Amino acid sequence: MIKAAILGATGYAGSELVRILSAHKEAELVWLASHSHAGESFSTVHPAFRGICDQVLEDDDIVKAAEAADVVFLALPHGIASGLVSADILSRTVIIDLGADFRLHDADVYESWYKVTHNSKELLPRAVYGLCELHRSEVASARLIANPGCYTTCSILTLYPLVRAGLVEECGIIIDAKSGTSGAGRSAKMGSMYCEVNESVKAYSITSHRHTPEIEQELSLAAGETVRVQFTPHLIPMDRGILVTCYARMRPGAGQEDVSRAYHEAYDGERFIRLCDAPPETRHVAGSNYVDISWKLDGRTGNIIAMGALDNLVKGAAGQAVQNMNIAFGLDEAEGLGLVPGAVV
């Protein structure tokens, strides 16, 4: 059995990790930590887990967690993990960071977008960007895995086949993205209160959302040249889900058969990517590790509209983290992730 620890276990992503790992046949939760709720049982904070996970929560001590566990999940806000993870910690355990501290290859880019100092720049070359479908082989031997963001996972996977195959112009890509309120985290914030979000939709972080450089980094690697995107997120009054609608200019001569071939070559055989004829809906992936993707060419404008949907707490966070763990420890990649989407009507 793989012994697993979670720091930040009572947040939305952390509790989703507990939900998934509680049903994982090859993993055992041995250390759950929460700075805000240390000394309380996990099921006191999240009553849905009564009789399923009643462990007493520890404080966020990464050294003790590393001593107790084979893998430590960090479900912490950005800026914290880079001050906790060290070469010594990595010699003891595998770290899967659900935050942003190790996603960007360039520390200067990270500090520019996140406005905090990166405290372990020397570890960045060891970090593997854990988007499983793109970097599976690197994840398999990694000790430090940077779990991608929710918007980024959906945006990158939706656009990746197009840029990898050179079917679209690398400049002028527009990503219109929408997220449920759980993406803002569990702590109290005015902008995510019920009365602030109900019966309303709003754009936010326009031209400045921190997932932008992450998307550009991975799409540029796929294209073999610099890719720039216009990324605009929106907050939707629902609990879970990400929907992205991406617009890109087709290169001359590229057509429907080229696009279909690119998507199928990239994703046929992938356990958690479903290519759909109809536009994807968040309710069809809710509670699951699936990403649904579809596309439509507009012959009138010469553009392609590519669409993707996922659950921001599962494939956009905890589910992908467990998928990374499974790969890193040589397990069936889908173990613990046979989660049927919650919406059936």
Place of tokens 């702590």: 187
**Residues 5, 33: contact at Cβ < 8 Å?**
yes
Nearest CA to 229 out of 276, 159, 299, 277 is that of: 159
What is the rounded CA–CA span in Å between residue 77 and residue 34?
A: 12
State the Cα–Cα distance between residues 263 and 161, nearest whole angstrom: 5
Q: Tell me the HSE value of 326 on the side-chain side, using a 13 A CA sphere.
A: 20
User: How far apart (Å, rounded) are the C-alpha atoms in residues 292 and 110?
Assistant: 29
Edge-to-edge strand ranges of the sheet holding 144-146? 27-33, 2-7, 71-74, 94-97, 144-146, 127-129
Catalytic residue list contains 150: yes
Distance CA 306, CA 227 (A): 16
* Sign of the torsion formed by the C-alpha atoms of 325, 210, 303 and 245: positive
**Candidate list 150, 154, 195, 276, residue with the active-site label:** 150
293 contacts: CB under 8 Å, gap ≥ 6? 157, 158, 263, 267, 273, 274, 275, 276, 280, 306, 307, 308
**Residue type at position 226:** T
Rounding to the nearest 10 degrees, give the CA dihedral for residues 81, 86, 90, 94.
0
Q: Which residues are catalytic?
A: 150
